[in-house]
Structure 1
Amino acid sequence: MKPLNRLIPIFYAATAIAGSAQVEPFSLDASDPKEIGKGTITSEQSAISPGTPFTVAIHLSHPEGWHSYYKNSGGIELPPEITWNLPDGFKAAALQWPTPELFASDFGTSIGYAEGPTLLAEITPPADLKPGTNVTLGAEATWQYCQPGKCINDEESLSLELPVGEQAVTDPGQAGLFSEARAALPQALAASSGSSFPGAAGDVLVIRQGKEVTLQISGQTAEAIKGNIAFAPDQPFVAPVDFTAASVEDGTISLPLKQAIDIADKPVPIEGDGISGILLLKDGPAVAIPFTKFGKAPAPPVSFSQLLPILGGMLIGGLILNLMPCVFPVIGLKIMGFVQQAGEDRKKIIFHGLAFTLGVLVSFWILSGILFALRAGAAPGQEIGWGYQLQNPWTILVLMLLMFVLGLSMYGVFEIGASATGFGGSLQSKQGLSGSFFSGILATVVATPCSAPFLGAAIGAAIALPALQFFLAFTFMALGLSLPYLILSIFPKLVEMLPRPGPWMESFKQAMSFLLFATAGFLLWVYTAQIGLGNMLNVVVGLTLIAIAGWIFGRWDTPAKSPAVRWAAKALVVVFAVFGFIACKPPAESSITWDTWSSDKVEELLADGQPVYVDFTAQWCATCQVNKKRAYPEEVATLMKERGIVALKADKTKANPEIDAKLEELGRSAIPVNVLYVPGKEPIITPEILSADYLKDLFTKEVPAPTE
């Protein structure tokens, strides 16, 4: 019988079913059936020759009234396994499986055989095999056969001795066996167009969209398809498809495939990058579907009546974006520019409005182009949407620093020119046009994290459009974002209704800085979620250093200061800004998994012979955060994994009497405290300041390497 671990799924399934459906528990008594299964191995040739492939047949029988299984059983039943024991130089090709059938079982629909299957395999002997000798082929066969409420695991050691001659000799006595075995194999798709499966020669496409998988075969006709086709997948994550109404449209058969469900009613994870299987036909031979990688269906064009509401939704969504917290600071600052232009030359005002609109359009075209490329290159099942680039922590970091620095400038900590930001300054020069163009780009960049009514649904519909309609939809969204500015520039009387320039503008500018700080705070929240809350202190320190750099720049790098002072100020600005950026940047990822500490867990692990490393830490502990930054690179994580060290975190961010008691027991009253526990040894308390070199040396000396 099989080893116990092979039987665990059956016992588990039996328990689940017995508890819910009141059926007979599984029996694993091999004496139950009247006859026991038997495995045999047969060669198509009575003599083999050096280097000439030959075919063997392995037949796995089972008692009448039972079922054995295909290589994917369709459920938790176990498929046959063949382990070869061949002489040196011999190679066995993949097994050739006969066409199975679908049948109802205790676990739904299973894939298998009412009669024992005959598996074919091609064996290739080495070219230097000596004629006149004998060779012995060996194989270990294991297979399972079941009937309602009972399963039996069987096994057989198979052996076949063959003579080696100058020429291969076919055994006529086995012709019927091999002819019947080959007839039971499914036909190749490209070679079966003459069968009763109409036009079976065609292209295969497996479309995956999230958890939905669809098998499509082109070059077909609709006759004799509905209710006549089923599918037996080779991969266990796809459920068998019984004879159902497959849809046929424009010469393409579409067969929806459902994700398999395990015994606990949970979806089986989709693994790999494609599927294969066998199309089963009621009125014709089966057709083998070769392994086909997952693809994506091309986006079908939509009619004008369908496209119009999408374009309207994108335009409205772009307009509403102007009221979002991410974009609103840019609005106020841009309106300041129009206020400054009240009464100026109308053409110049229009040029600035067009420059801003062009900046929005160009940046939207670039972002939507990136999105389109990501959509085209994304793995099947991978969802790509607007704002996808914001999943990258580097993108969030750059946006956060940009908003923070601009906020410092708007508050008056330092001044930067209009050519860099488009905020304020003269709009009568070339620099002013450049600033308006950049303002459009900035408005687009900070708009991407925002969502609004009408926007989510419209973007979801637009992303599925083909290329031309896709870019047209996002162009409408860009026009919606830039429309208020464009209207103000084209109709100067509206600009004249705005307040005239005056001292109030400085207060207004400083007020706008708080919106920029709020946007930076929102991005800090997103960034912290990406890099982990434990790294937030580093970011706060980094932003503080960058703020100091801005203050030095605005205080001492001014025309009123001497050249020596200005050069010193520039040097300090660079130093503080660089160190601030380094502190803010995403940390190197470590593969250490920290479990939650408890005294009982430590005792259990030590009793099992596992070493334990405990970090007593807290969010408010600055030294703890420094340790996390520098002491746990990937080489330390790898060493801990090699030595079997379990990492536990005792978090003291909130009051925890159990942690306080353990620290007192260790003779410590303050954190950080890091302790290494090794079975049979006293706990080792590390220094407060950790380094990667110290931990590598500690783990190497104190924790023995596992024995093979």
Structure 2
Amino acid sequence: MRFQRLLITTLLAGFISSNPPAQAQEDLLDSLMPKLGDEATSDTVATLVPEVKSVAPGKPFSVALKLQHPAGWHSYYLNSGGIEKSPEIKWTLPEGFTASELQWPTPEVTDGLFGKSFSYSGTPVFLTEITPPANLPAGSTITLKASAVWQICREGQCRDEPKDGPAKFEIALPVNASSEPDPTQVPLFAAARAEIPQPAKDWSVTAETSGTELRLRLKGVTADLSQASLTFIPDYPFIALALDGAGLTRDGDDWLLTLKRVTKDPVLDQPVPQGKEIAGVLVGKSAITGESKVVQVPPTKIGKAPAAPLSLAAFLPVLGGMLLGGLILNLMPCVFPVIGLKIMGFVQQSGQDRKKIVLHGLAFTAGVLISFWALSGVLFALRSAAGPGQEIGWGYQLQNPWTVLVLMLLMFVMGLSMYGIFEIGTSVTSVGGKLQTKQGVSGSFFSGILATVVATPCSAPFLGAAIGAAIALPPFQFFTAFTAMALGLSLPYLILSIFPKLVDLLPRPGAWMESFKQAMAFLLFATAGYLLWVYVGQIDLDNMLNVIFGLTAVAIAAWIFGRWHSPFRSRRVKTVALVLTVLFAAGGVKLAAPPAKSEITWEPWSQARVDELLDEGTPVYVDFTAKWCATCQLNKKRAYPKEVVALMKERGMVLMRADKTNPDPAIDAKLEELGRSAIPVNVLYVPEKDPVITPELLDAGYMKDLITREVPLPEKK
């Protein structure tokens, strides 16, 4: 027995480490477990029993699936607690009949091979309620058909039952004006119903989430649950078992049971989908009398836990942290170029009307405040609407690749403008604007908005603790905290505008300002580069070349605009320049736009893997490629549209990529064996056929013809 336990663990560990698709994992487990379960001394005896001798039109009745397990073996609850299979029954009913879901008895909590399991030993009984139609004619006979499967396990051994396929059942019942119970089955159904947990009559249950926690709130409970050993058996695999009162606390008149989420399957190493409701069974056992009480928690939607306001003493450090964080943001590369250019504006205003200088400071501050309120308002709405297990944070807008693309293009284009490739109006960017004019005030306001937009990528590393605390606050404290952050960002500008004598300490205007402006361009280029890194991580590295070409096209558009759309050019030249600017800019954005998710999956190439697949009868397609190979990149765009990928999947092909971006002796040796010295090289291997080396340039038509001609359809099993 110990050897079998060790064998299962070793096989699963080695299999899981290779991380194959979930279906392949299921297939392995299905094939593995029955073989190890063949030591059972006998099979489960299954019977399907109706509680009535006859049925009546429109009157529901129950049918029991009784499973008598071999000694020492057990089956499983709706949620097994692991990877084991629960009993399933499928009905074939006469027209108009309906069947309920299985009604599950309270399971036992037992030790399984990979943790706690929820199981049934002995002879569990599962009820199904059948409802006949109201117009069922009396005097007829109806036939109910069903098929059932289940799994039994013991001490790390499991097998599917029945061995030869689903158990088949057929029940014929007469139809009378009134239903006639079967007296011989009354004890069976009474005992089965007693085992099915029912909702509490005197108290209610609600579910809430707070951060990563799930909580059951028990309302109206008069008993002292601290004197009971309370266990929660979940119906869903994303909720962990709560055993012996763990996580149980008192909250006023309510009891709170804190539950842990299961985010990853411990056996298959796959993510566990997070649900939107909680359901399960509460089992309470008195520490004094030993008496047990079982209560069903019906499917309960998970709501948001109300945020508790902080005391003033606790809230002030949050405000201070947000204010300090806003000040720090002025030194970040994401923000400093904008702030630096505004300081240049102060230099230009030295000695001018103080009221106008203050007006610019207030306009900048208003831009920061309004944009912070808008962004924090969106964040608050997302927080309120977030589903279970979804956490929303400041800067999370950068999870959207379109947002990152827009910011990247904005930083890149502003950098080109600051470097002198072209000039854009101060009403749009406030760069070099005349701050004493109305247009300059608008520019100051826009600068405040822009500073906020570009600040969000920088804020997370420096404001993690403060923002984390602020996001969980109730509405008033939430918006107050983000207002403090906005004031921190705008404070230096505001101080310089209110006390213009401080501006006099800055250097006087001169030729150095153009150099300073161009120097600021490199900070913007650095920010655009950072955003490019984020963006490529979202759209996949293989698509980076398109983004580079897109940015090049945008730069050409900016150069054309700056070179030929100047005031001293003729109207015709400016019109042509504007048209070319729009074409290049639109083309650049289209090239850089987030691509559709590729449906093609490549494995890393190795000759050993190719030989293994061919021995199994699987066709293989190998792409010998490199990042620096321009023709290879062209082939990727032309040769593998959706219809070609669908054809490859239909024929059961495995696709492999031999990447020689960096030197690889094994790839070089294989190319020499194929008689090729340069890439691209694409090879189709079909079992029992010679390899087919494709032409260098590929297109979808050639690929469809090649696959259809050379790769046979897999045989149906």
Shorter-chain TM-score tier: 0.7 to 0.9
Distance in 2 (alpha carbons) for counterparts of 1:146 and 1:652: 49
Percentage of matched positions with identical amino acids: 60
After superposition, the Cα gap between the structure-2 partners of 1:600 and 1:265, relative to the gap in structure 1 and judged at 3 Å, is closer
Correspondence for 2:176 = 165
Distance in 2 (alpha carbons) for counterparts of 1:494 and 1:544: 42
Correspondence for 2:99 = 92
Out of 5, 8, 15, the position equivalent to 1:12 is 8
Distance in 1 (alpha carbons) for counterparts of 2:208 and 2:238: 14
Tell me if the contact between 1:313 and 1:454 (Cα under 8 Å) persists in the aligned partners.
no
In the TM superposition, what is the alpha-carbon distance from 1:342 to its structure 2 partner? 0.5
Out of 252, 256, 272, the position equivalent to 1:269 is 272
Tell me if the contact between 2:560 and 2:580 (Cα under 8 Å) persists in the aligned partners.
yes
Distance in 2 (alpha carbons) for counterparts of 1:113 and 1:604: 43
Correspondence for 1:673 = 681
Distance in 2 (alpha carbons) for counterparts of 1:105 and 1:663: 51
**1:593-631 CA distance string (max 9 Å, x none):** 111112222222222222222222111122222333344
The correspondence of residues 457-536 of structure 1 with structure 2, limited to 5 A, is 457-536=465-544
After superposition, the Cα gap between the structure-2 partners of 1:144 and 1:699, relative to the gap in structure 1 and judged at 3 Å, is closer
After superposition, the Cα gap between the structure-2 partners of 1:50 and 1:259, relative to the gap in structure 1 and judged at 3 Å, is same
In the TM superposition, what is the alpha-carbon distance from 1:461 to its structure 2 partner? 0.9
In the TM superposition, what is the alpha-carbon distance from 1:256 to its structure 2 partner? 2.5
In the TM superposition, what is the alpha-carbon distance from 1:331 to its structure 2 partner? 1.9
In the TM superposition, what is the alpha-carbon distance from 1:365 to its structure 2 partner? 1.1
Tell me if the contact between 1:68 and 1:116 (Cα under 8 Å) persists in the aligned partners.
no
Amino acid at match of 1:57: A
1:188 partnered with 2:224: no
Correspondence for 1:20 = none
After superposition, the Cα gap between the structure-2 partners of 1:175 and 1:16, relative to the gap in structure 1 and judged at 3 Å, is same
Correspondence for 2:694 = 686
- 3-state secondary structure, aligned to 2:215: strand
Distance in 1 (alpha carbons) for counterparts of 2:461 and 2:158: 57
Distance in 2 (alpha carbons) for counterparts of 1:605 and 1:136: 50
Distance in 2 (alpha carbons) for counterparts of 1:408 and 1:390: 23
- 3-state secondary structure, aligned to 1:242: coil
Correspondence for 1:446 = 454
Distance in 2 (alpha carbons) for counterparts of 1:387 and 1:57: 55
Correspondence for 2:221 = 220
In the TM superposition, what is the alpha-carbon distance from 1:580 to its structure 2 partner? 2.0
Tell me if the contact between 1:226 and 1:247 (Cα under 8 Å) persists in the aligned partners.
no
In the TM superposition, what is the alpha-carbon distance from 1:149 to its structure 2 partner? 7.3
Q: Which moved more, 1:397-406 or 1:295-304?
A: 295-304
Task: Using structure 1 for the length normalisation, give the TM-score.
Answer: 0.88
Correspondence for 1:656 = 664
Distance in 2 (alpha carbons) for counterparts of 1:599 and 1:609: 15
Tell me if the contact between 2:395 and 2:460 (Cα under 8 Å) persists in the aligned partners.
no
Distance in 2 (alpha carbons) for counterparts of 1:526 and 1:64: 59
**1:454-500 CA distance string (max 9 Å, x none):** 51111111111112211111111111011000000000110111112
Tell me if the contact between 1:617 and 1:673 (Cα under 8 Å) persists in the aligned partners.
yes
After superposition, the Cα gap between the structure-2 partners of 1:184 and 1:656, relative to the gap in structure 1 and judged at 3 Å, is closer
After superposition, the Cα gap between the structure-2 partners of 1:563 and 1:163, relative to the gap in structure 1 and judged at 3 Å, is closer
- 3-state secondary structure, aligned to 2:244: strand
Amino acid at match of 1:182: R
Distance in 2 (alpha carbons) for counterparts of 1:629 and 1:9: 50
After superposition, the Cα gap between the structure-2 partners of 1:585 and 1:681, relative to the gap in structure 1 and judged at 3 Å, is same
After superposition, the Cα gap between the structure-2 partners of 1:116 and 1:312, relative to the gap in structure 1 and judged at 3 Å, is same
Distance in 1 (alpha carbons) for counterparts of 2:707 and 2:157: 51
Tell me if the contact between 2:50 and 2:63 (Cα under 8 Å) persists in the aligned partners.
yes
Tell me if the contact between 1:216 and 1:255 (Cα under 8 Å) persists in the aligned partners.
yes
After superposition, the Cα gap between the structure-2 partners of 1:157 and 1:583, relative to the gap in structure 1 and judged at 3 Å, is closer
- 3-state secondary structure, aligned to 1:450: helix
Which residues of structure 2 form unaligned runs of 5+? Answer: 14-34, 286-290
Which residues of structure 1 form unaligned runs of 5+? Answer: 1-7, 18-24, 194-199
Correspondence for 1:281 = 284
Correspondence for 1:236 = 237
Distance in 1 (alpha carbons) for counterparts of 2:570 and 2:114: 85
Correspondence for 2:623 = 615
Q: Which moved more, 1:458-467 or 1:267-276?
A: 267-276
Q: Which moved more, 1:113-122 or 1:641-650?
A: 113-122
Distance in 1 (alpha carbons) for counterparts of 2:250 and 2:133: 49
Amino acid at match of 1:643: R
In the TM superposition, what is the alpha-carbon distance from 1:542 to its structure 2 partner? 2.0
- 3-state secondary structure, aligned to 1:525: helix
- 3-state secondary structure, aligned to 1:243: coil
Tell me if the contact between 1:13 and 1:263 (Cα under 8 Å) persists in the aligned partners.
no
In the TM superposition, what is the alpha-carbon distance from 1:547 to its structure 2 partner? 1.7
In the TM superposition, what is the alpha-carbon distance from 1:341 to its structure 2 partner? 0.4
The correspondence of residues 552-567 of structure 1 with structure 2, limited to 5 A, is 552-567=560-575
**1:28-87 CA distance string (max 9 Å, x none):** 53338xxx7533333221112345432122332346776554333434555444344556
After superposition, the Cα gap between the structure-2 partners of 1:687 and 1:248, relative to the gap in structure 1 and judged at 3 Å, is same
After superposition, the Cα gap between the structure-2 partners of 1:467 and 1:262, relative to the gap in structure 1 and judged at 3 Å, is closer
- 3-state secondary structure, aligned to 2:458: coil
After superposition, the Cα gap between the structure-2 partners of 1:142 and 1:556, relative to the gap in structure 1 and judged at 3 Å, is closer
Distance in 1 (alpha carbons) for counterparts of 2:715 and 2:136: 41
Amino acid at match of 1:60: L
Correspondence for 1:46 = 53
Q: Which moved more, 1:574-583 or 1:390-399?
A: 574-583
Distance in 1 (alpha carbons) for counterparts of 2:113 and 2:621: 47
After superposition, the Cα gap between the structure-2 partners of 1:702 and 1:377, relative to the gap in structure 1 and judged at 3 Å, is farther
Distance in 2 (alpha carbons) for counterparts of 1:163 and 1:68: 33
Tell me if the contact between 1:316 and 1:454 (Cα under 8 Å) persists in the aligned partners.
no
Tell me if the contact between 2:238 and 2:274 (Cα under 8 Å) persists in the aligned partners.
yes
Correspondence for 1:379 = 387
Distance in 2 (alpha carbons) for counterparts of 1:625 and 1:16: 39
In the TM superposition, what is the alpha-carbon distance from 1:268 to its structure 2 partner? 7.5
Distance in 1 (alpha carbons) for counterparts of 2:161 and 2:515: 86
Distance in 2 (alpha carbons) for counterparts of 1:564 and 1:40: 90
Distance in 2 (alpha carbons) for counterparts of 1:153 and 1:452: 51
Tell me if the contact between 1:188 and 1:289 (Cα under 8 Å) persists in the aligned partners.
yes
Correspondence for 1:355 = 363
**1:330-371 CA distance string (max 9 Å, x none):** 122111000000011100000011111111111111111111
Out of 393, 397, 402, the position equivalent to 1:394 is 402
Distance in 1 (alpha carbons) for counterparts of 2:587 and 2:113: 65
Number of aligned pairs? 681
Tell me if the contact between 1:643 and 1:706 (Cα under 8 Å) persists in the aligned partners.
yes
Out of 21, 31, 40, the position equivalent to 2:41 is 31
Q: Which moved more, 1:630-639 or 1:641-650?
A: 630-639
Correspondence for 2:124 = 117
Tell me if the contact between 1:232 and 1:278 (Cα under 8 Å) persists in the aligned partners.
yes
1:250 partnered with 2:255: no
Distance in 1 (alpha carbons) for counterparts of 2:412 and 2:198: 66
- 3-state secondary structure, aligned to 2:391: coil
1:430 partnered with 2:443: no
Distance in 2 (alpha carbons) for counterparts of 1:432 and 1:467: 35
Distance in 1 (alpha carbons) for counterparts of 2:360 and 2:604: 58
Distance in 2 (alpha carbons) for counterparts of 1:67 and 1:678: 47
In the TM superposition, what is the alpha-carbon distance from 1:374 to its structure 2 partner? 1.5
Tell me if the contact between 1:407 and 1:517 (Cα under 8 Å) persists in the aligned partners.
yes
- 3-state secondary structure, aligned to 2:410: helix
Tell me if the contact between 2:621 and 2:654 (Cα under 8 Å) persists in the aligned partners.
yes
Correspondence for 1:58 = 65
Out of 164, 167, 185, the position equivalent to 1:174 is 185
- 3-state secondary structure, aligned to 2:228: coil
Correspondence for 1:304 = 312
Distance in 2 (alpha carbons) for counterparts of 1:366 and 1:702: 59
